[in-house]
């Protein structure tokens, strides 16, 4: 497995086996066909506290906090990834979400030991699909395989 924060996996069982101590936020791509749907599912799965925002900036802010989650490892697992954001009319929006997830995971990776901030390891794992691999490759994002 490559040392990266983006991975593809055959199913959630493999994710649970590999990251047994992690908090896994399971997002079903069939129910996250738009950015808004994904945003809402992620807010629920990660239990965003006092969360009312719906913009990408709000999403970025919450993913860069995660202080309410006690676990060090946090996995965003997207099943049915061939369907994920498939109703989004703008491919640029999809690529923006992927870039946001990439930048956020990278920020966590390089976080200095600041007082009062518990370092987290954020990984984004997609269920294997040709569509997701093509999107990641198009953005030149390295990804590993479980």
Instruction: Give the strand pairing for 144-145 and 6-9.
Output: parallel
Among 16-25, 53-62, 63-72, 112-121, name the one with the lowest average pLDDT: 112-121
Give the bridge partners for 79, in sequence order. 28
CA–CA separation, 94 and 63 (whole Å): 17
Rounded mean pLDDT, 46-62: 84
State the pTM of this model. Answer: 0.90
Domain boundaries, the chain: 6-145
Q: Could you report the per-residue pLDDT of 12-48, keeping only the tens digit for each?
A: 889 989 998 899 999 999 999 999 999 999 999 999 8
Structure-block tokens of residue 4: 């990266």
At residue 140, the pLDDT reads 87
**Is the pLDDT at 52 greater than 80, yes or no?**
no
Its CATH class, for the domain covering 6-145, is alpha beta
Q: Could you report the per-residue pLDDT of 83-140, keeping only the tens digit for each?
A: 999 999 888 999 999 999 999 998 888 776 665 677 889 999 999 999 999 999 988 8
CA–CA separation, 104 and 113 (whole Å): 16
At residue 116, the pLDDT reads 64
């Amino acid at each position: 497995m490559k040392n990266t924060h983006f991975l593809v996996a055959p199913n959630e069982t493999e994710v649970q086996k590999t990251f047994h101590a992690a908090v896994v936020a399971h997002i079903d791509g069939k129910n996250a066909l738009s950015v808004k749907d994904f945003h809402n599912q992620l807010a629920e799965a990660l239990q965003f506290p006092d969360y009312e925002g719906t913009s990408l900036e709000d999403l970025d802010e919450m993913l860069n906090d995660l202080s309410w989650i006690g676990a060090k490892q946090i996995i965003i697992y997207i099943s049915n990834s061939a369907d994920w954001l498939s109703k989004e009319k703008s491919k640029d929006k999809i690529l923006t979400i992927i870039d946001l997830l990439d930048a956020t995971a990278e920020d966590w990776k390089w976080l200095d030991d600041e007082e009062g901030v518990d370092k987290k390891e954020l990984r984004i794992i997609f269920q294997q699909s040709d569509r997701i691999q093509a999107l990641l490759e198009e953005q030149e994002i390295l990804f590993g395989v479980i």
